[in-house]
Amino acid sequence: MEDFSPTYCPQCGEASFTNKHGTCYVCSSCQFEYFHNTAAAVAGLLEWQGKILLTRRAKEPFAGRLDLPGGFIDPGESLEQGLSREINEELGIHVTQWRYVASGANQYLYKNVRYNTMDALFVASLDSKPLLALQESEITEAIWVEKHQFDTNELAFASLQRLTKAYLQQ
C-alpha cells in the first residue's frame, strides 16, 4: 500500500520535504511543517421496517462494492450536519434525526495517497420508505436488505464492517 511521501515542500518548492515523525512532515529548507491529520468521516445507517439501506459505490476505492451513504466532513460542520449533507447529496432526501452508534479508525487510499480517517456511524429510523434520487457519480444503486440477513463482510470498508456488525448484533 502506498504511503503519503511528498518530496517537494508546498511552501518553498525545494526537494527537502520529509517525514519528521508520525503524521508530521517538515521542510529542512524553510522549516515549513505540515500535519497529515486524521480526517473525520461519517456513515449513515437508514432503517425502515426492519431493513437497512445500502449503496453500491461508483468510484474507487472499492468501486462496485456495497457501502453506506456518507462521506468526509467539511470544515465547520458537525458530524451530524456533514452526514445530513452527504445523505442529501447522495440520496436526495432530508434526514436530520441521527443517533450516534460508534466510531472506528479507517484508511482510505485515493490516487496513491493514504488518508487516515475516523469513521463515525449514525443510525436514523425512517417512518416511511423514501423516494430516492441517486447521485450517479457516487452511487450506482441503492438497495434495502433485511438487516438480520445482511452479511456485513459485503461492505467495502473494514471499519464500517465492524461498526455495522456490532450495531446489528445489539
Min CB(121)–Zn ion separation in Å? 39
Min CB(114)–Zn ion separation in Å? 23
Question: In this complex, which beta carbon is closest to Zn ion, that of residue 32 or of residue 72?
Answer: 32
Question: In this complex, which beta carbon is closest to Zn ion, that of residue 10 or of residue 50?
Answer: 10
Among positions 6-45, residues that touch Zn ion (CB under 5 A) are 9, 11-12, 27, 29-30, 32
Count CB neighbours of 160 within 10 A.
22
Kindly state the number of chain residues that form the binding site for Zn ion, as judged by CB under 5 A: 7
Question: In this complex, which beta carbon is closest to Zn ion, that of residue 8 or of residue 110?
Answer: 8
Secondary structure (3-state) at 125: strand
User: Do 120 and 114 form a contact (C-beta atoms < 8 A)?
Assistant: no
Question: In this complex, which beta carbon is closest to Zn ion, that of residue 28 or of residue 125?
Answer: 28
Binding residues vs Zn ion (CB under 5 A): 9, 11-12, 27, 29-30, 32
